[in-house]
Chains A and B, each alone.
Chain A
């Protein structure tokens, strides 16, 4: 009897774990395939040419759901709006979305479906770098333009440093945020700084960029060290920072660990300015760090501070337009991640308007003819060598004040 019970328990545990790992192939059957139902009749290609098929693959559930959900919502919203206005050159967009569940296997399966069964004209998606990296070899193989929404530089640059032929990327590289911080330090004449990063790939990636560019901006690190992602008390580390008396402290990490370090800096009553990475640009950081978050300075996309931009800024109108459209439809604040999907969609639409549904022509158009494109994330300047095309100007420095983001002049 007991043996049986035990076996049962083990079985349950195994089932439970299996359910958690979310990699069972059969779940693909549940994948949401949503050809726009009300338009499905209209969207049949009405004579001549291939239908316009846009496939969105987002991590709208699982670990990266907070990122993928606004992307999915934005994509749906924009396709519906475009179709309501009559589609592209009078043709309705057929759109299909897949949820990759924040899982790389699911991402590959969805990509395969998109390219072989759906015969996508263009694919937009890949919420997190791991998924985008898993998906892009298929895009290259099937020669279909793919607009990625993940941050890693590897997404659009291959191991030889060359641009990947069929892949374009919407978000900025982390490197641009480091450069923006260095620019700020230079402007404020804060040249002796302490560099602290979280001990994971995000942190060391930032550190590498910092080492590469610091001298160029005349910034020198008097102390460079790491803290763990699970840091509970960084005061021992900070006592060393205190001894070096830097002009500013850079804390490069994501929400939880940065909050702990920033709190500890305040507790030790260190007075120098604190600069943080763009990885903490969420309300959550303000909630977790509380009062300690005040006066932390960080680079972020322009979405958070669109209202305070100068009217002469060419992006302002685009930004406010997107924010208005999104908040009216979904009744919640627009997110930076959603805006990546919007940029991707708009660029795709522009290319299809000009070149029709020929995949190679779309790719060539984005690479060579798009020119300077004013998007939500920044002003894109895509070239054959640079399939992202953003510069560090796409980041603005903001200061946290009383729980709000205030544009730092």
Chain B
């Protein structure tokens, strides 16, 4: 019984961590799918989302409105970032573009220090946060929010990419940009759209995490790296697979920490990344196909 409750507790923690990574990993995948670049500023969108939400709440804006406003603002920042940094350099090699995103992430972090300073800030929970007891393991409503939101995003993304015209157009851009152009799809517009969407999702992720762990200017980096690992493990081109990868990472981390040692959890995560890259570089959940990886 005690063992069961411990396992259940670890599973709950793993799912929460997984949900957080998933929301950021989705952003990675959306941008990668459309532009072919890895956006290392993705974690910074989460940081901005969290801190902007907190600022609004401190101005006595209701929490739900604060989160929505923050998503809109960060999406706009994402748009500006795409137009100024990515669009102007779109003729450069992918490597250059990736390095630009790293530069932007450092710039955003610097900006956040100037605006919010280095102090930790916190956001109230979305709803009353009384722990729920299940078989002696505790589950917090905020954790349910985190998991719930990422599942909803997962469903929306699947629907969006497979059943809507815009989603299909986005996919078309990466499969064959030239053919997509012939079909009347404008890859440049699609690139802008992709960055805006993933910045918005990132902001949502940040707002979900802030009540759990607090928010600081430097929270984005580690989140971004873990989410990147999740996305690679899932397969970079597939949003649902990236989300599955994120949950996998979260659960493995929780169990490593709970049964072994917390110092080793990053070791396990990154070893997994290396292993996947060696053995199955197209991602755990990718079907064998002729598509580029």
Q: In this complex, what residue of A is CB-closest to B3?
A: A243
CB-contact partner of A267 in B14, B113, B131, under 8 A: B131
Chain A 233-268 interface mask (CB, 8 Å, partner B; 1/0): 111110110110000000000011001100000011
B17 at the interface (CB under 8 A from A): yes
Q: Which residues of B105-161 have CB atoms within 8 Å of chain A's CB atoms?
A: 106-107, 110, 113-114, 118-122, 131, 138, 140
Least CB separation from B143: chain A residue: A233
Q: How far is the CB of A216 from chain B (nearest CB, A)?
A: 26
- Secondary structure class of chain A's binding surface, majority of residues: helix
Residues of B within 8 A of A (CB): 2, 6, 9-10, 12-14, 16-17, 20, 84-85, 88-89, 91-92, 103-104, 106-107, 110, 113-114, 118-122, 131, 138, 140, 209, 212-214, 216, 219, 222, 253-255, 257-259, 261-263
- List chain B residues, Cβ under 8 A from A308: none
Task: Report chain A residues within 8 Å CB of B254.
Answer: 233, 235-236
User: Counting CB contacts under 8 A, is A17 at the interface?
Assistant: yes
Inter-subunit contact A232/B9 (CB<8 Å): no
Contact B13 A233 (CB under 8 A): yes
In angstroms, how far is the closest chain A Cβ from the Cβ of B120?
4
Task: Report A347 CB to chain B, min CB distance, Å.
Answer: 31
State the CA gap A328–B249 with chains docked (Å): 54
Using an 8 Å CB-CB cutoff, how does the interface string of A303-338 with B read, 1 for contact, 0 for none?
000000000000000000000000000000000000
Interface centre among A16, A230, A235, A255 (most CB of B within 10 A): A235
Shortest Cβ distance from A228 into chain B, in angstroms?
7
* Chain A positions 1-47 with a Cβ under 8 Å from a chain B Cβ: 2, 5-6, 9-10, 13, 16-17, 20
Contact of A63 among B89, B118, B255, B257 (CB under 8 A): B118
Smallest Cβ distance from A250 to chain B, in angstroms? Answer: 15
- Residues in A with CB closer than 8 Å to B213 are 230-233, 256, 260
Alpha-carbon gap, A240 to B17, bound state (A)? 18
Contact between chains at B122 and A288 (CB < 8 Å) = yes
Residues of chain B lying within 8 A (CB to CB) of residue A228: 222, 262
Structural contact, B120 and A259, CB atoms closer than 8 A: yes
Give how many A residues have a beta carbon under 8 Å from the other chain's beta carbons: 39
- Cβ-based interface call for A287 (8 A): yes
Contact A239 B212 (CB under 8 A): no
Cβ-defined partner of B263 (8 Å) among A6, A13, A226, A287? A226
In the complex, besides A232-B213, A268-B9, 11 extra interface pairs with C-beta distance below 8 angstroms are A6-B92, A13-B104, A17-B107, A227-B262, A230-B222, A232-B16, A233-B16, A235-B254, A235-B258, A239-B6, A267-B140
Q: Is A284 an interface residue (CB 8 A)?
A: yes
The answer on a CB contact under 8 Å between B262 and A288 is no
